[in-house]
Amino acid sequence: MAAVERRTWQYAGVAAGMGVLFLVGALWFGGGRPQPGLPGLPDPGLLTGWGLPLVRLAGDLCSIATVGTLVAGVVLAPRGSRESNACVRAAGRWALAWVLCTIAAYLLTISNIVALPVPELLADLSAFRFAMAFPQSQALLIVVLWVAVVALGAWHGRNRRSGVLLVIAALGLLPPIFAGHAVSAGDHDIAVSALTTHLLAAAVWVGGLAAVLVHFRRSERLGVVLPRFSTLALCCFVAVAVSGVAGAWVRLATVAQLWTTGYGVLILVKGVALVGLGIFGWLHRRRTVAGVAERSVRRTFVRLATGEAVVMIAAVGLAVGLSRTPPPAAGSHEGILDYSLAHYSAIHLITEIRLDPLILLALVAPAAGYLVGLRRLARAGVTWPAGRTVAWFAGLLALAVVLVGGVGGYARALMPAHALQYAVLGVVGPLLLACGAPLTLAARATSANSQYGDVATAVLDSRVARRLTRPGVVVIAHALPFGLLYGARLLELSVSDHVVHLLSMGLCLASGVLCCWVLAGVDPLPRPISWRARAWLLGAVAAVQAVVGLLLLAGPPLAEIWFALVSPPGAPDPVAAQRAGGVVYLTLPVVALAVLGVRLARLRRTDRRRVAHVVTPA
C-alpha cells in the first residue's frame, strides 16, 4: 500500500511539473513572460512577475479539483456511499487550498497593479485602498469569500446540501472572467459566454477524472461511476471544443493569425491537446468502460486515465500562459452594446444570428437527451406519440429563434424584440416543451438500473419539486422575472449588461418551464392538482401577461435613454417601440394560454362524461 501511495504522489508530481513546464513555455513563447523593468520606473519585481502565473496555475488546479471532486460526490457516486462522503470532505480541503492560492494571487495582483514589490507593498498598506478600484482585485476577493463557504460547508463530508456546494463552487470560477481578456473582446457577449462555458466544462471534465482516479480506482463502485463519467466527459469535450472555437474566433481577426502570431500558435497547441484527449476518451469507451469490473481492465483504465490527467494538467498550464498573452485582435467594444446591429427589418429578426456558445449548448443538450430517450424506446419496441416529439422540438426551435436568432441580438436594443423574446421564454416555448412530455419519456426510457438511475422518479420524489409545484409558488415564480424587469425598473440593467441579461432570461425560462409543467397536465406531478386549481393558475398567468402588456402600452417609458442610444437604423422611436412591445405581450402569450384553456376545458368535459358513464347503471 505504501508503494502504491508513493507511486501516486510521483505521478502527481510529474503532472504538476508538466503543468509548470507548459506554463513557462507558453509565457516565453507568447510574450507573456515578465519583462525587465525600465530604469527609473517602478517595477513589481521577478517575484510578482513569475509568482503570479504560478500561483494562478496552483489556484486553477485547486478550483478544478474542488469542482470535480464535488461532481464525483454529488453526481457520479451513489447517494450516501462512503466514497460520496469522502469526495465531499476532500472537496472541502481543496476549497481551502483554493482560498489560500486566491489570497496569494490577490497580493501578487495588487503588487502588479501598483508596480511595487511584495515586501514594499506589505509595508505600505495604503496601496491596497488604491488597488481595490480595479476589477481584478475585486474579483479575487469575491472568489475568496465565495469559496470559503464551500470549504466550511464541505469540511465534515456528510452534508445533504452538497449539491448547493457544487453550484457555489462552480460559480466561484466565474468572477475572474469579467476582469480578463473577455472584457476587452469586440464581441463581448460571445467572449464571456465562451469563456464561461470553457471554464465550467473543463473543471467538471478534468476535476471529475482526477476524482475518479483518486477516490474510485480501487472501489467496487467504479463499474457504476465510470460509465456515468464517460457520458459526462463526452458532453464536456463537446462544450470545451465549441467554446474554444468561439473564443478563438472572437479574439483573432483572421484565420492566418493562428500560425502567424504567438497567441494563435498557442491556440493550435491547445487544439492538439484537445484532440489527444479525445483519443484518450475514445480508448476509454472502447477498452475500459464496459469491462472495468475485471482487474486487468481496471489496470488499463488507471494507466490510460493517468496519462490523460497528465495531458489535462499540461493543457491547464498552457491555458494559464495563454490568458497572460495579449491577443492580437484585442480592442475596445463596438459601441456600448458590444456588437453592431444591421439595419432593422423583419427579415433581420431572423437572419442576424449570434451563436452564443453557452446558449447554443444549452439548447443542444435537451435536444440530444430527448433523442437518446426516443432511441431507447425504439430499441425496446415502445411507441411514442409523434405529436409530442414535434411539440418538443418546436419548443426548442422557438427558443433558438429568440435566443440565437436575430430576435436575440435585437432584444437588447429594441423593445418589440425584447418583448417577443420574453413572451416566448416565459410562455410559448415552455408550453411547447411541456407538451413534449419529457418527464414521461424519461420514465419510460430509464429505470433504477440505468446509468443515472430512474430520472423521473428522482424528480417527482424530490422535496424541491413538491414545494415548487404548489399553485401559489408557481404564480409567484412566473410573475417574479416580469415584476423585476418592469415593476422594479431593472429593465435597463438587464439589457445593458450581458451577464444580467443571461440571468434574467434564465430566470424567465425556468419559471416558464415550471409554470407550464403544472398547467399543461401532460407530465406527472409530485402532487395532484385539481382542475379548479389549474384553471385558477391559468387565469393568474394570463393576468400577469396582460398586466405587463398594459404597462408597456399605457405606462411611462422604460429604459428610454438606453434604447435611444442603441437602437439600430430604421427602428421606431423608443416610445412607439414600447407600445409595440405591449401589443406583443397582449397577443402572443395570451393567445397561447387561451389555446391551452380550450384544451383543458375539453379534457374536463371528457373526464365528466367518463365518470358519468361509470356511475350510470346499465
pLDDT digits (tens, 9 = 90+) for 65-90: 999 999 998 888 887 778 888 899 99
* pLDDT score of 183 more than 90: no
Could you tell me if 338 and 323 are in contact, meaning their C-beta atoms sit under 8 angstroms apart?
Answer: no
Is the same domain home to 525 and 406? yes
In total, how many domains does the chain have? Answer: 2
Task: Indicate whether 365 belongs to any domain.
Answer: no
Q: What is the mean pLDDT of residues 520-534?
A: 86
Predicted confidence (pLDDT) per residue in 450-493, tens digit: 666 778 888 888 888 888 889 889 999 999 999 999 887 788 88
d(CA 105, CA 102): 5
Q: What is the CATH number of the domain that holds 175?
A: 1.20.1630
In tens, the pLDDT along 267-306 reads 999 999 999 999 988 888 887 877 776 777 778 888 888 8
pLDDT category, 316, cuts 50, 70, 90? very high
pLDDT bin (cut points 50, 70, 90) of residue 182 is low
Range of the domain at 520: 371-615
Q: Which of 290, 323, 356 is at the close of a domain?
A: 323
436 band by pLDDT with thresholds 50, 70 and 90: very high
Last residue of a domain, one of 256, 290, 323: 323
Q: What is the pLDDT of residue 37?
A: 65
Residue ending a domain, among 288, 323, 358, is: 323
**How large is the C-alpha radius of gyration of the chain?**
27
Q: Which string of b and e fits 556-571 if b means at least 16 CB within 10 Å? A: ebbbbebbeebbbeeb
| % the chain with pLDDT above 90 | 37
Q: Which of 340-354, 465-479, 528-542, 582-596 is least confident?
A: 340-354
H/E segment holding residue 96: helix 82-114
How confident is the prediction for the chain on average, in pLDDT?
85
CA distance 578 to 252: 38
Per-residue pLDDT at 480:
93
Phi, psi (deg, nearest 5) at residue 281 = -60, -40
Model pLDDT, residue 170: 92
Which residues, 6 or more positions from 201, have their beta carbon under 8 angstroms from its beta carbon? 235, 236, 239, 240, 243
- Is 197 in the same domain as 138? yes
Do 317 and 376 fall into the same domain? no
The residue ranking higher by pLDDT, 261 or 336, is 261
Residue 337 lies in a domain: no
- The 10s digit of each residue's pLDDT in 111-142 is 888 777 888 777 777 767 776 777 888 888 89
Q: Average pLDDT, stretch 148-177?
A: 84
518 and 388 in a single domain? The answer is yes
Assess if residue 595 is contained within a domain. yes
Whether residue 84 is found in the same domain as residue 186: yes
40 or 62: which carries more pLDDT confidence? 62
